[in-house]
Amino acid sequence: MKVLFIVTAYPRHEGDVITPWMGETIRRLIATGTAVEVLAPSYKGSRTSMIGGVKVHRFRYAPSQLETLTHDMPAMERIRRSPACAALLPGYVAAGIKAAAGVAAHGNFDIVHAFWPIPHGLFGIAARQSSSAALVSTFFSAELMWKGATRRAMAPVVRKVVNASDAVTVISSYTGERLRQYVPDAATITIPFGAAAANETQAGFGDSRQPRSAGDPFELLFVGRLVERKGVDILIQAAARLRDDPRLTVRVVGTGPEMSSLERAASSTGLGDRFVLEGMVSAEALAGHFARCDALVLPAVITAAGDTEGLGVVLLEAMGYGKPVIASAAGGIVDIVSDGDTGILVPPGDPDALAGAIRRAMDDPAEMRRLASRGTAHAAEAFGWNTIVTRLGAVYESAVAARRGS
Q: 117-137 pLDDT, tens per residue?
A: 999 999 999 999 999 999 999
Does residue 326 belong to any structural domain of this protein? yes
pLDDT per position as a tens digit, 304-359: 878 899 999 999 999 999 999 999 999 999 999 999 999 999 999 999 999 999 99
Q: Domain range spanning residue 44?
A: 2-195+384-405
Does residue 211 belong to any structural domain of this protein? no
Whether residue 185 sits in one domain with residue 63: yes
Residue 108 CB contacts under 8 Å (≥ 6 apart), including other chains: 2, 131
Sheet with 49-51: strands ordered across: 49-51, 54-59, 35-41, 2-6, 111-115, 134-139, 167-170, 189-190
CATH code, domain with 399: 3.40.50.2000
Does residue 205 belong to any structural domain of this protein? no
Whether residue 169 sits in one domain with residue 95: yes
Does position 262 have pLDDT exceeding 50, yes or no? yes
Whether residue 67 sits in one domain with residue 53: yes
Whether residue 186 sits in one domain with residue 272: no
Q: What gap in Å lies between CA 283 and CA 224, rounded to an integer?
A: 13
Write down the pLDDT at residue 208. Answer: 61
Is residue 196 within 8 A of residue 221, CB to CB? The reply is no
Beta strands in 231-286 (DSSP E): 248-253, 275-279
Whether residue 53 sits in one domain with residue 9: yes
Does residue 203 belong to any structural domain of this protein? no
Write down the pLDDT at residue 205. Answer: 57
Does residue 125 belong to any structural domain of this protein? yes
Among 319, 345, 341, CA closest to 332: 345
Whether residue 276 sits in one domain with residue 371: yes
Is residue 314 within 8 A of residue 298, CB to CB? The reply is yes
Whether residue 168 sits in one domain with residue 231: no
> Would you say the pTM of this structure is higher than 0.85?
yes
Whether residue 392 sits in one domain with residue 376: no
Does residue 200 belong to any structural domain of this protein? no
* Structural domains in the chain (count): 2
Write down the pLDDT at residue 132. Answer: 96
Instruction: Identify the band that residue 200 occupies on the pLDDT scale cut at 50, 70 and 90.
Output: low
Whether residue 95 sits in one domain with residue 191: yes
Range name among 4-8, 149-153, 316-320 with the lowest pLDDT average: 149-153
pLDDT per position as a tens digit, 34-67: 999 999 999 999 999 999 999 999 999 999 999 9
Percent of the chain residues past pLDDT 90, beyond the cut: 82
Query: In terms of DSSP bridges, do strands 54-59 and 218-223 run parallel, antiparallel, or are they unpaired?
Result: unpaired
Is residue 9 within 8 A of residue 117, CB to CB? The reply is no
Whether residue 393 sits in one domain with residue 359: no
Whether residue 377 sits in one domain with residue 389: no
Does residue 351 belong to any structural domain of this protein? yes
Does position 203 have pLDDT exceeding 50, yes or no? no
Give how far the C-alpha of residue 262 lies from the chain's centroid of Cα atoms, to the nearest Å.
23
Sheet with 344-346: strands ordered across: 275-279, 248-253, 218-223, 295-298, 325-328, 344-346
Whether residue 325 sits in one domain with residue 278: yes
Average pLDDT over residues 363-369: 98
Write down the pLDDT at residue 403. Answer: 93
Does residue 204 belong to any structural domain of this protein? no
Instruction: Identify the band that residue 20 occupies on the pLDDT scale cut at 50, 70 and 90.
Output: confident
Write down the pLDDT at residue 140. Answer: 92
Instruction: Identify the band that residue 183 occupies on the pLDDT scale cut at 50, 70 and 90.
Output: very high
Average pLDDT over residues 158-183: 96
Average pLDDT over residues 179-187: 96
Instruction: Identify the band that residue 406 occupies on the pLDDT scale cut at 50, 70 and 90.
Output: low
